[in-house]
Amino acid sequence: MSSQGPVRLQKFLARCGVASRRACEELIAAGRVSVNGAFVTELGTKVDPAADKVAVDGLEVSLPDEAVVLALNKPVGFLTTMDDPQGRETVASLVPTDRYPGLFPVGRLDGDTSGLLLFTNDGELGNNLIHPRKHVEKTYLALVEGIPDDAALDQLQKGVLLEDGPTLPARARLLGSNAAQKQAQALGWQQGPRQRIVELTITEGRNRQVRRMLASVGHPVRQLHRVRVGSLELGGLPCGQWRLLTEEETAALEALATDC
Ligand code: URA
């Protein structure tokens, strides 16, 4: 970003990870942001990231050294937080926080969910990817009790009523027996005779949403694994391992997150 010359103040603040671009506009309008020591309330103000000193509430902010996005194949049993006051296992121990300071998880997976979890030190990209208005798709494989029929799958697709409101339309399909067997084996899942694997794609990120959706149509989830976020597939990344995204992969996520 520093090589791109002057940028709008709110964009600079968001890239520094201060808050979403909209929330940064509010900080500016509230007179909490200074440039080279002078408070600024004009939203069109431009700053040169290489030369100007920007502060929020008197504290100087700066761009992360190198903006990175990485993918982790999260194992079951790790909490999605960078710090747990109770000392439980967290995803922070699985990603290179020394090499890339300021990394944070993009959204969250439950402790008992495995699969694709993105991390970045780019506050704006992270905020955009989880923004409810962006409707970024997330695809899960769920090992469920019972054999969902067409009516149950149809209901999941149209939306189900949860205690925090109806869900948006989704995509749901039952894996065929060969595909299910292959997936169960790859994930180390024991698939009982009255259990099936459902692939569910949702565009929201409510608390335990997939588990609650499937339970609401009579099929409690026994195992849950995320295989895709937006344009990025987990692919063959081994459990517990991370990798940096390529420039193309990062650009594709950025394009998704900026389209509205
Ligand atoms: N839905 C869930 O129920 N759990 C997750 O971890 C993610 C989505």
Query: What is the pTM assigned to this prediction?
Result: 0.80
User: Which pLDDT score, from 0 to 100, does residue 4 have?
Assistant: 58
| Ligand 1 pocket test, candidate residues 137, 199, 210, 222, most atoms within 8 A of CB | 210
Burial class (CB in 10 A: 0-12, 13-18, 19+), 103: buried
Active site residues: 110
pLDDT at 259: 60
Q: Whose CA is nearest to atom 3 of ligand 1?
A: 208
CA 109–ligand 1 middle distance (angstroms): 6
- As beta bridge partners, residue 161 has 166
Mutation pick for ligand 1 pocket among 72, 209, 225 (CB with most ligand atoms within 8 Å): 209
pLDDT, averaged in runs of 10, over the chain (260 residues): 72 84 92 96 91 94 84 98 94 92 94 98 89 93 98 98 98 96 96 97 97 98 98 97 96 81
Do 174 and 153 meet the contact criterion of CB atoms below 8 Å apart?
yes
Residue 2: per-residue pLDDT: 37
Do 62 and 49 meet the contact criterion of CB atoms below 8 Å apart? no
Exposure string for 212-225, b = 16+ CB within 10 A, e = fewer: bbbbbbebebbbbb
CA of 113 relative to ligand 1 center, distance in Å: 7
Q: Compute the distance between CA of residue 19 and CA of residue 55 in angstroms, rounded to an integer.
A: 13
Which one-letter amino acid corresponds to residue 138? K
Q: Are strands 221-229 and 113-120 parallel, antiparallel or unpaired?
A: parallel
Q: Which residues line ligand 1 (CB under 6 A)?
A: 109-110, 113, 208-211, 224
CA distance 204 to 167: 8
Residue 1 has what pLDDT? 42
For residue 204, how far is its CA from the centre of ligand 1 (angstroms)?
Answer: 10
Cα–ligand 1 centroid distance for 21 (angstroms): 27
Q: Which pLDDT belongs to residue 64?
A: 67
Q: Comparing C-alpha atoms, which of 216, 223, 221, 225 is closest to residue 152?
A: 216
Predicted pLDDT at 21: 84
**Most ligand 1 atoms within 8 A of CB, residue of 72, 73, 79, 110 to mutate:** 110
